[in-house]
Amino acid sequence: MKQQEIHKFLVRFFTANSCDILENTGSYLTVQLTIELDKELMNRPFYWHYLEKTGGVPNPMIVTFITNQQNIPDHVKGEVIHFGSPRLHQIFRSTRNLAGYIRLFEDYHPSIGQQVPLRPWLGMNVKISYQCDRKRDVFKSIGLQLINGQMVDNFHDQLLKLPLVRKIPDYSFTLSPLIMPKSGVNRIQNMLRSIILKEDHSWAHDARDRWGKDLQLLEHFYEDIDEKGESYENEKRALQEQYEPKIHISIVNGGIFYLTDQAI
């Protein structure tokens, strides 16, 4: 996940959660948090507990997140955000907590007297984690039309180009899905699995080679011991947990989006 993508994600996250963006330069972002997000992100339980007890006036924090340290004025102070930073992963978790599922409609304004059909799409943002003694995460956004089964990649980026609202617009009506959302989730997961099966898995073979070398060292260390005991089994199990290749697909969030024929 590149720094530009992280910056765009932060803007979308705070905007979607009704925070005021006070400054946005592309290199840093200054945000007025809402009460809900202050409680969610800033770890001030005693402050909020005191306010609730005393009936004080809440004062949620203003925070600055820096996504490009090389391109900010000297006076700007804030928290540096990159892919490995704990704050970003905290925000990822909050995204799941606060916006695991959403339903939106394309805000399309037809000619007077015209009725516009909106077709249902299932959108899923997923994380594919490739894990061994090293780890790599890949994020994908997949859209599935729930009538004809059309599937598209980079779905979230396409949604960003559309005017979307929470209530169905006037002169629009929704078409009923032929594919149920639960079945759609399974289709997307199966598609991702088929793509993963065709990928180059040399990283997994390399991990098993490293695992084998460390296992040989372990065996050599215990070769003169008749009863290896629990410590040997624990170390052997720890090597398996460290090196064994695994691929995990997790759903970050998703939603149902009702769109016109021309949208995607």
Query: Residue 216: what pLDDT?
Result: 93
Query: Residue 97: what pLDDT?
Result: 67
Work out the percent of the chain whose per-residue pLDDT is above 70.
98
Query: Residue 1: what pLDDT?
Result: 64
Residue 179, pLDDT > 70, answer yes
> pLDDT of 53-90, one tens digit each?
888 899 999 999 999 988 888 888 999 998 888 998 88
8 Å CB contact between 174 and 120: yes
Element (H, E) at 190: helix 181-197
Number of other residues whose CB lies within 10 A of the CB of residue 172: 19
Query: Residue 100: what pLDDT?
Result: 62
Confidence band, pLDDT 50/70/90 cuts, at residue 121: very high
Query: Residue 44: what pLDDT?
Result: 92
Residue 99, pLDDT > 70, answer no
Residue in this structure with the two tokens 């994020």, named with its chain if needed:
139
What's the mean per-residue pLDDT of the chain? 90
Confidence band, pLDDT 50/70/90 cuts, at residue 22: very high
Number of other residues whose CB lies within 10 A of the CB of residue 241: 9
Q: In degrees rounded to 5, what are phi and psi of residue 255? A: 180, 175
Residue in this structure with the two tokens 């997994």, named with its chain if needed:
204
Query: Residue 18: what pLDDT?
Result: 81
| pTM for the model | 0.62
Query: Residue 244: what pLDDT?
Result: 94
